[in-house]
Structure 1
Amino acid sequence: MIREDLTLSAGQRLRLEVELSETAVPLPELSVRVETDPEFDPARMGSTTIVTQETLENLPTISRDFTAFAQLSPLVAMDEMGASVAGSNIRYNNIQVDGALSQDVFGLSPTGVAGGQARGRVIPLSAIEELQVLIAPYDVRQSGFTGGVLNAVTRTGGNEFRGSAFGFLRDDALVGDAVIGGFARESGDLDNLFAGFDASGPIVRDRLHFFVAGELERRARPPGGFTVGVDEAVRSQLDADSIARVSDILGGYGADAGEAGLYTLENDLANLFTRLDARLDDDNSLMLRYNLAFAADDLAPNRLPGDAYEMSSNGTHIESRNHAVAGQWLSTLGPRLSYDLMVNVQSLRDRETANAAYPRVEVQMQGGESGRGYRRELRLGSSFSGNDSELDQNIVQISNALSLSLGNHHLTFGGGFERFSIRREYLPGTVGSYLFNSMDDLAANTPSEYVVHVPLTDDAGTTEFSVNQFSAFVQEEARVGEALNVRLGLRMDVPVMPDSPAENPAVLNSFGVSTSELPSGTPLFSPRAGFNLGLGEGRSTQIRGGAGLFTGRPPFAWLANAYQNTGLSSAFLTCQRRNLGVPDPELVPAFDPRAPSPTSCPDGRGAESATPIVTVFDSDFRFPRDFKASLAIDQRLPAGFVLTLEGIYTKAVNQISFEDLNIGPAVPASERTPENGFTDGFGYGSRVTFGNPGAGSQLVDPPPGDPPGPREPIFFPRRVDDAFGQVIRIGDRARNFAYA
């Protein structure tokens, strides 16, 4: 018997029923052709979407990022920040390649993919056989998410040599106008050069095959938003003459303000994917895979309304390199017993460099034309949160499963180990930031405020820690009669954090929480159950569903904050003129881009008076965990169509929450009076307030056409302990839910 054109999705089971009878007539050959249908697979129970290679090749795409195709699932919402699955945060997804983790677990990538900070891709699109979008897979082998799994199944080589190459060019002639705030504007100069290839074939026929694919891309674009000198001043809220004056003033101090108009931002990407598949003998096969992803990007400054207008000096350049090596061994140990071992090693390196080395400068600008006035901040100099930084992520992932088939019962036993090692060099604001209330103040070098992040130890900017996660699972899939498949499973995950942050006794005394305690060693159980019922001739109707718990992991950046923000390694120093109506430059250091950034105020206040920010974890904190339940009906229709009605409900069991412990009691209503600084301008006199107004209001020149008047008072939070700034406790609550 020969079976041809038999294609199964990863994890899919297919039952073949072939009945043969004896006959005296010799049969030279018996050929059985089987066509599978993943939509009506008896093993399909939860909410899943399969995107085939044909769909990937035929649908148009500009980014060529496989995660963008996840939006073909009706439960996925996609935007520039990534894929939100069933209403969850993008950082709660699990992005995989052949079942192996391939993502930024630290959580800085806006899309979740490794290298996403530099707009990188995971693997070449031509290397993908299919994309699996798993929202509620009631299979306990899947874990590490509360959103969804985006798994790219890669292509393999065969006994025939195949290959292809392609390239394309796209420029602004093929791009429509951008629409910002209801106003259309030209996109500006755009260039996109792209080239790629793939090749596959046999090394040893029937035994050893290869597949390789690569992509190179160069993108060039201008900053987005309304631009000074290009768009009307009323759109950018700034005029070119004022910008030129600011640039001249900065030049007089010895600093380059950068470009305020259009300039070119470059984004270079390179991907290389290789895979070897070996059939060692009739019972054993081996897969080895290597993936390289490189991306370098000039991060765009903000030009959109609603925030400060940023010049090119306030931008940064980031480079990302991701190396991943994975291997999988499949073995048939007997007629009923099989074994699956997978090992994955990923190394991700991100490096960010600021465009300017002098402190950030913010100038409050005013202008107007034709009786219309406007006010907006202009920002230049080093990025406060994006100064030079490094991020290293090393991931080791081992999983294995033993499967035993006992007639209509299929048992799976297994476990796994994951190690996440993080090293980060990052201390934002160490270069400092100046605020000037006007161009005249900038020219006179009389800033109203100076903020700097002061390191208190030699290693204040270095954070190193690791997270180990152990797992074990057991599962049974049973066939009940000819129509019903049932799956029951239990999974246990145990996250362990062997490294502890430093203990800050002052935090313990003031707030009763420890900075050295992290959630570690608590078993998290995830029971799951699913079913699939086939009805009608040829399973033309299918009812499927299930329920269970799914355990994810938090973005490890939040753990890094607990290691770094103990209140012992760094603090923020603010030099500010409080009595804003009286010039008093002696309270704020003068701006000098050629000198080291000041670490003390002119009145002598230094690091000892700086305010530390603290992050702690609640003693009962647990990794994110959601309960999911779904029910669906699939119906075959004429002409190959399938009608599906599906509902899914998600309820948080452990959902991350944040609380500032250093917020004092609300101001009593009897004290919210104009004499105490509580005006009715923004309702401060009638609503609950947790802050006291500042010591004075500053008289400023309002936009042309408006009468002069005072600003509303600046409110300063009432603190439990004035020696600290924010004291953020990370806990979890069970309030979130979603349904679709």
Structure 2
Amino acid sequence: ASISRDPKDIARLDPFVTLDPSNEDALSFAGTNTRQNQFTVDGIRQNDEFGLNGNGYPTQRSPISIDAIQALNVSVAPFSVINNGFVGGSINAVTKSGTNTFSGSAFYEKSDDSLLGDRYWGYGPRGNGFRARQDYNRVFDEKTWGATLGGPIIRDTLFFFASYEKFESQFSLNEGPVDAGFANPIPRITTSAVETFRQGAKTRYGYETGSFVNVAPPVQDEKYLAKIDWNINANHRLAVTFQETTGTSFNGSTTSAFINGGSTTQPRLALESSQYVKDERLTTWNAQLNSQWTDAFSTELRVGYKETETTQLPVGGLTVGQVTVNVSDLAGVQAGSGTPQIQFGADNFRHDNYLYSEVKNAELIGRYSWGSHDFMAGARIETRDFTNVFVSQSLGQWTFNSYADFLAGNASGLIIRGAVNPTGGTVPARFGTARDGAVEFGYDVNSLYAEDTWQISDTLRLNYGLRYDWFAMDDRPVLNTNFRTRNGFDNTANLDGRDLLMPRLGFNWTPSDWSISGGVGRFSAIGTNVQIGNPFGNDGARITNAVCTGAIRGVTDLSVVPTGANCTFTPGNGSVVALDPNFEIPSAWKYNLTVARDFRLPLIEDFRLQADVIRTDFENALYYRDLLATRSGSAPDGRPVYTHPTGPVVFDLLLDNLKDGGSSTSVALTGQKTWRDGVFEGLDVRSTYTYTESEDGNPMTSSQPDSSYVRFASADHNNPVLATSDYEIRHKFTVNANYTRAFFGDNETSINVFAQRRSGLPFSYVYHSSRTGNYDNDFGNAVPQSYSGALGTSNQLFYVPQTDGNGVVTATSDPRITYASGFNLTDFNAFLNNTGLIKYAGSIAPRNAFRTGAVTTVDLRLSQEIPVPVLPTGKLKLYMDIENFGNLLNEKWGVLEQYPFYRGVGTVVLNCQTAGVASSCAAPNAVYQYSSLQSAGAAGTPLGGEAKRPNAQLPASTWQIKFGARISF
């Protein structure tokens, strides 16, 4: 079943592949980073080149129609030297070609909310309570249609193939004012309050905020592909492929932390002007010339071009930035807990957001056969160029403490970032300078490689080779002399001159019914290009933070910087991201062994048993460290405490290498049986069990450097230690069964079942928050971003107090810890035991030492062929796809429960004290004070000693059905 028509639904049949439905079906090979894979179409890389999309594509859906694919090759360790550009795994799609016979197809598919499950068994949206029946109301209507056609232009000489596919979806939002009938009502904020607020903004500022959003604009995706194959003569063949994919989607900013995260302190409604439309376009050209010059010598010439463009435009335009207003005093806001907020204007990350990339490549491969040797040598050059417009807060980020202040124009805060002349002086700050700060950079990746495939005997083949990659880069970030003064080196390092040697060795031995293969080799990937581009967009010289010294009073226009605020830009006053001058290209050593046996005995004929082992060692993995963080001492549990200088510069982040970047080990056992006759004729069953252990230092989960630096659980973000990877799925068991048989003439009836049971993803226990506004300032970690709801937790790992002789935490069992008045130690002990934290008593609980529950899902496809009288060779196939079929049978089945990014679960509120008075955590004799246990229920109740619950991932936790019809000839 493939409701999304995504090649990843085929790739998941590989025992080492896992998809994450909570993150746009992000794909991980053997527990490795989802952003470190490669997806190619006819040799052209179609990854998300910059690294912003969770699905790994440069488009909102798959960049290619699945009907245009002839073959899909999935490999975690292809040892030929021709392969590189990934440390996870590789997927290569080969497109169809025309032949001497005309052939084609057309299809139509449909799904809507009547074909989607509307309930599941799980926890409530705020992580409290027991599991119970939960309602899920998602109103949508989606359809997909397309066609293919291929055939001869000149018989035996010139052929064509073309493919088209279009997806359309209309959906309604499920969050809104408490009295508007939404499935997830936002507490306290009513429709009348929204209208009063809207009119107030129009009267005071002349700005149309828009109302709350009910129905979103249509989501669209179109795919075009055209291919020409030319047999020039008997020895030369040329193939040219053109491909274009465009997509438009409506996206919402944070609507309510109350609904999304479990926070009871901040119900939030974002109005229409906060939403944005994202347009994406992918265009590729690819030409391949295969030439057979002699019986022994052949060449292959490949030339490719890829262009991507992404625009994110706020519905309210680019005049007013993000405005957040506390509205407890707004007429129509209901009484209750928390601080309700209304937000409008372009959200912080859409203050002019544009991305363009252009990738050109050329590759020449020569092959020469000599006796039992097949030699191959090649050269490749790939040129990558990028333009990125992204300066968050360049239109301003406003906050108002009350609605009365909002009507009076009295802001409590204004944050501005902008672009200035790096060699100029201080100037008045202004909005809308993002285009002046546009980043343009590019570089070349050059490759030389050679390989020998030696057929030692009829059963033994050995291939060995060497690949050499080196980078050429003329562009450098703008020099920031203040950074040089602070740190003693320049921020202008780039990729130029950095290189890597990659030896490869592989073998294949096929004695009798056995097949034994394996290899060892080094692979490389520099990471995502957004990480390479961050030093250009965060030089701190021309992109700087405003300093405002005046009061923000009496504002009447949110599109200009108020004069009385005295806000100025000074070159060099911005935070900096830099590449380490000694940066090395990240790489991975892969080791693989595969042993397979085909059985042809009477009772187990056509049965194959296979064992695979894949080991990956990561070398020079990426991570960020903050050069402004100076260690001032140690906290009570021994973790470091850092200090930062005051001023507009929040951080100096260095993109650096972890020499030991961790490792991944996976073992897979696969059994496959095919029945060719008898009652089970047409049945094929493949079953796999995969065990994976994976660890990393920094999971590098974000495209933003400050988020990647701090947004993972650690006791020392500047010096991360290896721990269980965020991407590890420890156990996975899959069964893929396909039964195809013609019961009515030659019209096939087919049933396909894909069942999977897998472990949950790992998570960490961290402090819920600290007394300071930025959650980890007690330990000296600058957290410039604002997180709320379930994300409103610290990034610091939780210290588990020592126990007494009876294994119980008491008020005096650990001299490092005191407890606030009224803190319930009975619930706290239950909490530690129920979560498993008690095993780490007297130490810091490790990162990702815990994981959510396993999940079992079953996907089903039923299809039936019907003859088409007007097309003698044609067939009409009617089919139905059911995803999460188990949930259709029982609402308790197939529910995927995970904690939201970054999967840190809060425990207690932390304060540091000395002699009962608040102090630095590094102060002599400082102790921790624990308060406010973050349990799933009230103190003294059965849930008072349970942790907050994971959220069901929707719609992945409910069933969905899609109907389709396809005609082919």
TM-score class, shorter-chain normalisation, is 0.7 to 0.9
Match of 1:598 in 2: 561
Counterpart-to-counterpart distance in 2, 1:633 and 1:61: 31
Among 440, 445, 457, the residue aligned to 1:464: 440
Counterpart in 2 of 1:362?
324
| Aligned residue among 481, 503, 508 for 1:505 | 481
Q: Distance in 2 between matches of 1:227 and 1:74?
A: 45
Q: Does 1:623 align with 2:623?
A: no
What is the letter of the counterpart of residue 145 of structure 2? A
Q: Contact between 1:427 and 1:453, CA under 8 Å: does it hold in 2?
A: yes
- Counterpart of 1:569, as a letter, is R
Q: Distance in 1 between matches of 2:248 and 2:52?
A: 15
1:46 alignment counterpart = none
User: SS at the partner of 1:343?
Assistant: strand
Residue of 630, 644, 647 corresponding to 1:719: 644
Distance 1:656 1:446, change over 3 A: same
> Post-superposition shift, 1:260?
2.6
Secondary structure of the residue aligned to 1:313 is: helix
State yes or no: 1:100 paired with 2:44: yes
Partner of 2:236: 284
Number of equivalences = 623
The equivalent position to 1:483 in structure 2, one of 459, 463, 486, is: 459
Displacement of 1:383 in angstroms is 1.1
The answer for the alignment partner of 2:270 in structure 1 is 310
Matched, 1:200 2:200: no
Which of residues 291, 306, 319 in structure 2 aligns to 1:331? 291
Paired position in structure 2 for 1:529: 505
Could you tell me how far 1:295 is from its partner in structure 2?
0.8
Q: Is the 8 A contact 1:519 1:619 kept in 2?
A: no
Percent of counterpart pairs with the same letter?
Answer: 22
The equivalent of 1:169 in structure 2 is 110
2:56 alignment counterpart = 112
Paired residue for 2:797? none
Letter in 2 for 1:267: V
Asked if 1 retains the 8 angstrom alpha-carbon contact of 2:535 and 2:578, the reply is yes
Tell me: CA distance 1:384–1:138, structure 2 relative to 1, closer, same or farther (3 Å).
Answer: same
C-alpha deviations, 1:244-280, integer Å up to 9, x for none? 4433432333333333352224211111101111111
1:353 aligns with 2:279: no
SS in 1 for 2:632: coil
Contact 1:265 1:300 in 2 (8 A): no
Matched, 1:429 2:355: no
Q: CA deviation at 1:292?
A: 1.0
Tell me the alpha carbon deviations over residues 675-719 of structure 1, each in whole angstroms, 9 at most, x when there is no partner.
xxxxxxxxxx8886747xxxxxxxxxxxxxxxxxxxxxxxxxx32
Counterpart Cα distance in 2 of 1:262 and 1:610: 44
Segment drifting more, 284-293 vs 496-505: 496-505
Q: Say which SS state the counterpart of residue 337 (structure 2) adopts.
A: strand
Secondary structure at the aligned position of 2:279 is classed as strand
Greater mean deviation of Cα atoms: 638-647 or 386-395:
638-647
Deviates further, 339-348 or 220-229? 220-229
Q: Confirm or deny that 1:666 pairs with 2:628.
A: no
- 1:573 aligned to 2:546? yes
Instruction: Name the stretch that deviates more: 229-238 or 147-156.
Output: 229-238
Between the aligned partners of 1:424 and 1:185, the Cα distance in structure 2 is 42
1:183-241 Cα distance to aligned partner (Å, 9 max, x none)? 63343321112220000111111111111110122111223567644568996344325
Alignment pair present for 1:730 and 2:637 = no
Query: Which of 518, 521, 545 is residue 494 of structure 2 equivalent to?
Result: 518
Aligned partner of residue 661 in structure 2, secondary structure: coil
TM-score normalised to the size of structure 2?
0.61
2:68 pairs, out of 87, 106, 127, with 127
Match of 2:598 among 613, 616, 636: 636
Contact 1:359/1:597, CA 8 A, preserved across alignment: no
Which of 135, 144, 161 is matched with 1:211 structurally? Answer: 161
User: Is residue 343 of structure 1 aligned with residue 303 of structure 2?
Assistant: yes
> Is the CA contact 1:120–1:294 (under 8 Å) kept in the aligned structure 2?
no
Give the structure 2 partner of residue 85 of structure 1.
29
Q: Does 1:246 align with 2:197?
A: yes
Assess if the C-alpha contact under 8 Å between 1:291 and 1:324 holds in 2: yes
Comparing 252-261 with 563-572, which one deviates more in the overlay? 252-261
Distance 1:552 1:510 in 2: 31
Aligned AA for 2:410? T
2:524 to 551, 574, 598: 551
Structure 2 unpaired stretches of 5+ = 126-133, 422-432, 667-969
Larger CA deviation: 425-434 vs 449-458: 449-458
Q: Quote the offset at 1:97 in angstroms.
A: 0.3
* Cα deviation digits, residues 499-546 of structure 1 (max 9, x gap): 12222222111111212221321220111111112133xxx2212111
Q: Is the 8 A contact 1:510 1:721 kept in 2?
A: no
Give the Cα–Cα distance (whole angstroms) in 2 for the partners of residues 245 and 609 of structure 1: 42
> Mean Cα displacement is larger for which, 301-310 or 420-429?
301-310
Establish whether residue 448 from structure 1 lines up as the match of residue 432 from structure 2: no
Show the counterpart of 2:780: none
In the TM superposition, what is the alpha-carbon distance from 1:327 to its structure 2 partner? 0.5
Amino acid at match of 2:457: G
**AA of the residue aligned to 2:300:** D
SS at match of 2:350: coil
| Distance in 1, Cα, partners of 2:173 & 2:11 | 28
Corresponding residue number in structure 2 for 1:613:
575
Q: 2 CA distance for matches of 1:319 and 1:618?
A: 34
> What secondary structure does 1:554 align onto?
coil
In the alignment, the residues of structure 2 paired with residue 364 and residue 484 of structure 1 have an alpha-carbon distance, to the nearest angstrom, of 73
1:188 aligned onto 2:135: no
Query: Deviations along 1:461-485, whole A, 9 cap, x unmatched?
Result: 2111111011000111112222221
Q: What is the aligned partner in structure 2 of residue 715 from structure 1? A: none
- Secondary structure at the aligned position of 2:101 is classed as coil
Question: Which one-letter code corresponds to 1:336 in the other structure?
Answer: A
1:599 and 1:99 map into 2 onto residues whose CA distance is 54
1:651 pairs with one of 601, 612, 617 = 617
1:256 aligns with 2:208: yes
Question: Residues of 2 paired with 1:468 and 1:735: CA distance?
Answer: 25
Change (3 A) 1:284 1:490: same
Please, what TM-score do these two structures have when normalized by structure 1? 0.79
1:606 alignment partner, SS class: strand
Are residue 401 (structure 1) and residue 365 (structure 2) matched? yes
Tell me how far 1:599 sits from its aligned partner: 7.0
What CA distance in whole angstroms lies between the structure 2 residues aligned with 1:604 and 1:386? 25
| Conservation of the 8 A alpha-carbon contact between 2:253 and 2:347 | no
Amino acid at match of 1:305: N
CA contact (8 A) 1:229 1:261 kept: no
Name the residue aligned to 2:16. 75
CA–CA distance in 2 between the matches of 1:372 and 1:639?
A: 70
Alpha-carbon distance in 2 for matches of 1:439, 1:99: 57
Separation of aligned partners in 2, 1:610 and 1:85 = 42
Q: By how many angstroms is 1:557 displaced?
A: 1.3
- 3-state SS, counterpart of residue 99 of structure 2: coil
In structure 2, C-alpha distance between the alignment counterparts of 1:514 and 1:225, rounded to whole Å: 48
SS of the residue corresponding to residue 562 of structure 1 reads helix
Question: How far is 1:288 from its partner?
Answer: 0.7
Distance 1:649 1:158 in 2: 42
Query: How far has the Cα of 1:326 moved from its partner?
Result: 0.4
